[in-house]
């Protein structure tokens, strides 16, 4: 049997309306196209192979594959979703469900796809059907919980995630989602417990680490939070989570910095003043080179709360503490582009340093 897909195109205008039930023969526009699609799709429902009927403004396209050696409709639909073709994937899975309404894979994958697209009511309806058909499938409960959560139904989401964790305590995704839902609803202590387990079960996934970090930060456990953010940076340095972790680490560092120095920091003023003196008269490109090198070095976080001189640069000789470099970076960006936010507010220290520097200049 041929494995090649069959494909036929013909003009919508040539469709014989007498093929439709009498009540549909005078339909126009989208209603007509949908009636044609439904009618033609029925011809394929009794066959095992995959089929697709597309009715556009002026054309009907039918594609199908033979059954024995080819994938099921559901498999083809999931394949489309994996390729990022939501419309084709969802269409194929809907077709699979018309053929077999209790197709678990079709329900799960279509439900998740619709949830991802924000079509939450239909997603929840499909996923509810799925957990009714098979209440023992933890992943289905997770998907239902995610759809609820996206729809701001946190109580329903929590219930679904709890069900998933009860069914599959070793499922890292179930733990991660339950932890995140608890974190959002104020159950921080319980959330941390589940998120820690999630990081054990999914050690290479930055998401549970991030969720854990955020939750620890909310509880005031900045040490644990910073460690978890570091792990996120290690796993996803260039990604969106990595960037957010970087910002969070700066936030924590600044908080610790302020806390340890009682607010205004004289040492930072001194470093800023030194940087102003260093950059005075220096070509802009040179300032940029030094500043960017520190920014790159700092992309994994500079330890501003450790006084030791632990960093070196290619562009400036010597050893530097984290706070020293941060002050040079801050001053550098004030010269190159003051709009840049380095994620650490040294404006007061910089202002003081500038006043001192201007006074020095006048004296000179």
Judged by CB, which is closer to another protein: 64, or 330?
Answer: 64
Helix ranges, the chain (H)? 29-45, 73-82, 86-99, 104-116, 120-133, 138-150, 154-167, 172-184, 188-201, 206-219, 222-235, 240-261, 266-279, 284-297, 322-336, 347-363
3-state secondary structure of 221: coil
Residue with tokens 């994958």: 109
DSSP symbols for 268-337: HHHHHHHHHHHHTT--HHHHHHHHHHHHHHGGG---TT--S--EE-SSS-SEE-HHHHHHHHHHHHHHH-
Q: Smallest distance, Å, CB 5 to another protein? A: 10
Q: What x/- string results for residues 22 through 41 when contact with another protein is judged by CB under 8 A?
A: --------------x---x-
Which of 342, 5, 148, 78 shows the shortest CA–CA distance to 161?
Answer: 148
Strand partners, 10: 60
Interface with another protein, residue 204, by CB under 8 A: no
Interface with another protein, residue 57, by CB under 8 A: no
Judged by CB, which is closer to another protein: 4, or 23?
Answer: 4
For the record, the structure tokens of 17 come out as 């309306």
Interface with another protein, residue 62, by CB under 8 A: yes
Spatial separation of the C-alpha atoms in residues 160 and 177, rounded to whole Å: 10
Name which position in 35, 50, 51, 235 contacts another protein (CB under 8 A). Answer: 51
Q: Smallest distance, Å, CB 28 to another protein? A: 18
DSSP 8-state assignment for residue 5: P
Spatial separation of the C-alpha atoms in residues 54 and 331, rounded to whole Å: 60
Q: Smallest distance, Å, CB 109 to another protein? A: 25
Name which position in 30, 34, 43, 102 contacts another protein (CB under 8 A). Answer: 43
Interface with another protein, residue 255, by CB under 8 A: no
Judged by CB, which is closer to another protein: 40, or 282?
Answer: 40
Interface with another protein, residue 10, by CB under 8 A: yes
Q: Which stretch binds another protein (CB under 8 A): 42-50, 128-136, 178-186, 252-260?
A: 42-50
Judged by CB, which is closer to another protein: 43, or 280?
Answer: 43
Judged by CB, which is closer to another protein: 19, or 136?
Answer: 19
Q: Smallest distance, Å, CB 16 to another protein? A: 3
Half-sphere exposure of 94 (CA within 13 A, CB side): 16
Q: Smallest distance, Å, CB 215 to another protein? A: 55
Interface with another protein, residue 19, by CB under 8 A: yes
- Using CB under 8 A as the binding criterion, the count of chain residues that bind another protein stands at 25
Judged by CB, which is closer to another protein: 52, or 349?
Answer: 52
Strand order through the sheet with 6-11: 6-11, 59-64, 51-55
Interface with another protein, residue 14, by CB under 8 A: yes
Name which position in 33, 35, 52, 64 contacts another protein (CB under 8 A). Answer: 64
Q: Smallest distance, Å, CB 24 to another protein? A: 14
3-state secondary structure of 218: helix
Interface with another protein, residue 9, by CB under 8 A: yes
Judged by CB, which is closer to another protein: 59, or 82?
Answer: 59
Interface with another protein, residue 55, by CB under 8 A: no
Spatial separation of the C-alpha atoms in residues 302 and 330, rounded to whole Å: 13
Spatial separation of the C-alpha atoms in residues 280 and 357, rounded to whole Å: 10
Please report, as ranges, the residues that interact with another protein according to CB under 8 A: 2, 4, 6-11, 14-16, 18-19, 36, 40, 43-44, 47, 51, 58-60, 62, 64, 66
């Amino acid at each position: 049997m041929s494995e090649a897909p069959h494909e036929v195109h013909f003009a919508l205008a040539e469709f014989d309306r007498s093929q439709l039930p009498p009540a549909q023969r005078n339909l126009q526009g989208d209603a007509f196209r949908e009636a044609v699609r439904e009618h033609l799709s029925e011809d394929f429902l009794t066959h095992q192979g995959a089929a697709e009927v597309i009715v556009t403004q002026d054309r009907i396209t039918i594609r199908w594959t033979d059954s024995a050696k080819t994938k099921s409709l559901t498999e083809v639909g999931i394949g489309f979703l994996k390729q990022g073709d939501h419309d084709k994937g969802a269409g194929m899975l809907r077709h699979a469900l018309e053929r077999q309404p209790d197709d678990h894979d079709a329900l799960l994958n279509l439900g998740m796809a619709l949830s991802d697209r924000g079509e939450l009511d239909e997603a929840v309806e499909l996923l509810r059907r799925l957990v009714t058909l098979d209440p023992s499938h933890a992943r289905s409960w997770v998907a239902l919980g995610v759809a609820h959560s996206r729809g701001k139904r946190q109580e329903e989401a929590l219930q679904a995630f709890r069900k998933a964790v009860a069914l599959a305590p070793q499922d890292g995704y179930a733990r991660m989602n339950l932890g995140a839902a608890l974190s959002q609803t104020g159950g921080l202590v319980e959330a941390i417990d589940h998120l820690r387990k999630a990081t054990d079960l999914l050690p290479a996934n930055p998401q549970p680490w991030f969720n854990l970090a955020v939750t620890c930060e909310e509880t005031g456990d900045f040490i644990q939070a910073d460690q978890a953010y570091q792990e996120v940076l290690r796993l996803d340095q260039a990604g969106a989570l990595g960037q957010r972790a970087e910002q969070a680490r700066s936030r924590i560092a600044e908080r610790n910095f302020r806390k340890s120095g009682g607010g205004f920091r004289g040492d930072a003023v001194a470093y800023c003043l030194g940087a102003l003196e260093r950059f005075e008269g220096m070509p802009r490109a040179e300032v940029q080179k030094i500043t960017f090198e520190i920014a790159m070095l700092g992309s994994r976080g500079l330890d501003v709360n450790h006084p030791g001189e632990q960093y070196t640069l290619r562009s400036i000789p010597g050893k530097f503490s984290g706070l020293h470099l941060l002050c040079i970076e801050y001053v550098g960006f004030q010269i190159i582009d003051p709009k840049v936010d380095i994620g650490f507010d040294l404006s007061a220290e910089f202002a003081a340093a500038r006043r001192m520097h201007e006074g020095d200049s006048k004296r000179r």
